[in-house]
Amino acid sequence: MELKQYLKLTQQLVMTPQLQQAIKLLQLSRIEIDDLISEQLHENPLLEDQRENAQLTSRAETSTEARERRIAELQQERSDDGDKTLPAGDSESPVPRDSNELNWETFAENYQYFSYTSSPGTRLSQDDPPPLENTVACQSSLHDHLQWQLGVSDISPRDAEIASFIIGNLDDDGYLKNLSLEDLAAHTGASVEEAEEVLLRVQELDPPGVAARDLSECLIIQAQTHYPQNGTLLRLVRDHLPDLERRNVTPILRALDIDAEQLKEALSLLSAMEPKPGRAFQTNETEYITPDVYVHNIGGEYVTVLNEDGMPKLKVSTYYRNLLNSNPSGTDREYIQDKFRSAVWLIRSIHQRQNTIRKVTESIVRSQKDFLHRGIKYMRPLILRDVAEDIGMHESTVSRVTTNKYVHTPQGIFELKYFFNSRITGTAGRDLSSESVKTRIKQLIETEDHRRPYSDQKIVALLGAEGIDIARRTVAKYREMLGILSSSKRKQLL
């Protein structure tokens, strides 16, 4: 055992903070990159937004011109009426210097040109957007809706406490699935009979079917609420849901002693019921997509244009650059140099990110011209390696660039990753993409006879007749990915 010292040459990839930032910027979406730039504008005093400064200057000039024009119009009107024009010292305001001689009519007429603040809810011009407090809306949740009904109902404080516990344990669909009567009684200190009685009261609240423990109970509650005199519907829901799921009609007709027409009427009522009572209270906010790049068809050629609308155009502050050249003190110089390097690297990284997105999109466009011309049926199979080799970058870089990035094409808006799909061999000598095969499977199922839906094997045969060689298990996988049920569950009963 001894201690030695020696030299060794090795190659090692070092992830510097600047390189980590550049990689992070590649995988950020458009909204995330805007948030990051806004954060850097607040943290780094050397960064400035050229567009924001230009807009502020333009707005100030526009406001000044409008004010001067309005004052000139007032002077002209007073001159036409034979009145004296405003004195030179008062040309900037229609308000007299002596507040006791205030001309309220003139002041009210021109108030919007001289007021820099406004009360809530006031709009100074038609071009201004409405105040934020006038546009905020709050949607009532299922919990709030049930609690409000509980508050106006005739129920004892003890039962209200148990009911509130039940409401608090409902899932988003309005079901009470993870809480048994025994657990409810143990948590609230009540007996099982008392807990069941309160549960029945909660199930009487709106929407019908809420607080049910399974689908059968949910539909039974709705049948009793909406159609209390329809015994056939109640027996159908209570005793024959498994037969309905298997599309087995004969045992149902025999057990209920009804004909096919009566069963069809009952099924029509059943189809109008809500299997998820809480769905109406779920907040599904619309998510708007801002494309990162546009593809335009100009004279038969596809041109790629980056979307930089609204994205800040960064530059290094001239003031701090001049200050750095004036040789400030040691601490100040170190601080300015550090922020200067950070600002320059951020600007360079954003430029590199935009350039990489453009290159990747142009490569995809070159490979998918048939898709852009004729639609999804003609999409070509494409993998990350194909694009990486085309533009001379690594596959991981292409993967990061295509994550959460969207392109606006003549065929619609798609995520860049949408164009990468597996290869399906065609018997006609032309390879197909998995997305085009999925679309064809969906089209076949949409046009089938609902009384005799296509089985997966039948779909394989139909695709084979069109020159698409595909296995039955692959058809089943694609069908499940599309959210389409099997043929036995797609079959129309009557």
The pLDDT value given to residue 466: 84
The pLDDT value given to residue 471: 87
Q: Is pLDDT above 90 for 375?
A: no
Of 177, 161, 167, the residue nearest 147 (C-alpha): 167
Token couple for 291: 């494309």
Condensed to tens digits (0 to 9), the pLDDT of residues 341-353 reads: 888 888 888 888 8
Condensed to tens digits (0 to 9), the pLDDT of residues 404-423 reads: 899 999 999 999 999 988 77
Condensed to tens digits (0 to 9), the pLDDT of residues 125-173 reads: 445 555 655 555 567 789 999 999 998 988 899 999 999 999 999 998 9
Give the Cα separation of 243 and 249 in Å (integer): 7
**DSSP 3-state of 270:** helix
Residue 301's alpha-carbon distances to 9, 93, 387, 448, in angstroms, are: 52, 58, 20, 39
Token couple for 188: 């609230």
Give the Cα separation of 494 and 492 in Å (integer): 6
Condensed to tens digits (0 to 9), the pLDDT of residues 26-50 reads: 888 888 888 888 888 888 888 888 7
pLDDT band, residue 273 (cuts 50/70/90): very high
Q: pTM of the prediction?
A: 0.63
Cα angle 439, 444, 447 (rounded to 5 degrees) comes to 125
User: Which architecture does CATH list for 423-490?
Assistant: Orthogonal Bundle (1.10)
Bond into 207 cis (ω within 30): yes
Per-domain residue ranges of the chain: 142-281, 423-490
Of 168, 172, 177, 134, the residue nearest 150 (C-alpha): 168
Residue 185's alpha-carbon distances to 165, 197, 286, 384, 444, in angstroms, are: 10, 11, 41, 57, 53
Long-range CB contacts (within 8 A, 24+) of 55-64 = none
Cβ atoms 209, 174 nearer than 8 A = yes
Q: Which uninterrupted H or E stretch holds 62?
A: helix 50-80
β-bridge mates for residue 316, sequence order: 47
Cβ atoms 385, 393 nearer than 8 A = no
The pLDDT value given to residue 99: 44
pLDDT band, residue 428 (cuts 50/70/90): low
Q: Is pLDDT above 90 for 223?
A: yes
The chain-wide mean pLDDT, for the chain, equals 80
The pLDDT value given to residue 221: 94
